[in-house]
Amino acid sequence: VASIFTLWLTYVLGKNLFGEAVGRLSLLFLATVPYYVVAHRQSFLENFLTPLFLGSLILLRKNKIYWAAILAFFCGWIKIPGFAVPLMMALWLWRKKEAKAAAIMLVTGATSILSYLGYGLLAGKEAFLFILANQSDRGAFVSSFFNTITNPRFYGEFHDGWYILGFIFSLVMLTKFNQEKFKFYNWFLSLWLLVLFLTAGRFNNSPWYYYPLIPFGAMAIGYFANQLLKKPSLFLILPFWLLGFTGFDLLKIEINPTCLRLATIFFFIPFVLNLKKISFWLVRIFLIALVLLNIYVTLRYPTVHCLEERCLAPKKVILNYD
């Protein structure tokens, strides 16, 4: 259910920042990229944190400070890294010289942390302190982010090139900072990356920590897909070609190497020779084909995994009260 809100709010934020077309494309990719789909089928707290975070950003964009503060207040209650959300917003507002609004966010963050600590101590002091101590033992390592983007996984490896593409395009977005919309996107992407770099661990054994960044990846893909549709380019379409077909590997479908090489050569000839009309239609057919492939992969990929070789069948339990 929370994922439905994530879909809608990603569209709203993408539209608010980059326009209607990017909003729709962001929604399309969020709903079809295999890694994104599987991630949002899982029952992790980050999937509840994500729509709350997105909602607070949308309200902040609309300058509804008090409502944004209310949503930001509860982010940390869902997951501890969420306590950084009010601080992110406070720093953003401070940079915009909105001191009063920044103070509201700082008070919100402090109140959220104090109330969380108070609730935990009152509800069960020993268990609460034990959990906090256990969580504080998590290390911070220089390879945290490297392992996350080079080894996408859930309970095992999940080599989806779109996941990598989302990160690449998100990082490219960091080079765009002349307009307010890019500054807003880049600010919250950057601070989330810093928070997760410090908290996610070394071996990507908690990939769900990065789920709040999935909408940013979808928006980045949507933005560059829209740029590609507006003006077909060899340089823009190349990343989609290099990373867009990994769904075949996820389904263990082998592509004949000779066919792949020939297809690659013939596909890029119009772009190399700058044949604009052919490139125009080829881009559209290509992106539609990639989306259809992703849909097929998400429908066919087995998302139920059991510890045993075969999932145990449920057993009917009959209680006899005689």
Q: Which of 35, 36, 38, 51 is nearest to 1 (CA)?
A: 51
pLDDT digits (tens, 9 = 90+) for 49-78: 999 999 999 999 999 999 999 999 999 999
Question: What count of residues does the chain have?
Answer: 322
AA identity, residue 204: N
If you average pLDDT over residues 221-249, what whole number do you get? 95
Residue 312 has pLDDT above 80, yes or no: no
**Angle, alpha carbons 305-307-313 (nearest 5°):** 75
Q: Tell the burial category of 229 from Cβ atoms under 10 Å away from its Cβ (0-12, 13-18, 19+).
A: middle
- SS3 label, residue 153: strand
Query: Residue 134: its pLDDT value, please?
Result: 74
Residue with tokens 């389904």: 251
SS3 sequence of 224-244? HHHHHHHCCCHHHHHHHHHHC
**149 vs 321: which has the higher pLDDT:** 149
Domain range list for the chain: 2-230, 232-301
Q: Residue 305: pLDDT band by 50, 70, 90 thresholds?
A: low
Query: Residue 3: its pLDDT value, please?
Result: 85
Residue 144 has pLDDT above 90, yes or no: no
Q: Which helix (H) or strand (E) holds 11?
A: helix 2-18
Query: Residue 150: its pLDDT value, please?
Result: 79
pTM: 0.90
Residue 201 has pLDDT above 80, yes or no: no
Q: How far apart are CA 174 and CA 218, in angstroms?
A: 15
Q: How far apart are CA 36 and CA 11, in angstroms?
A: 15
If you average pLDDT over residues 256-278, what whole number do you get? 95
- SS3 label, residue 157: strand
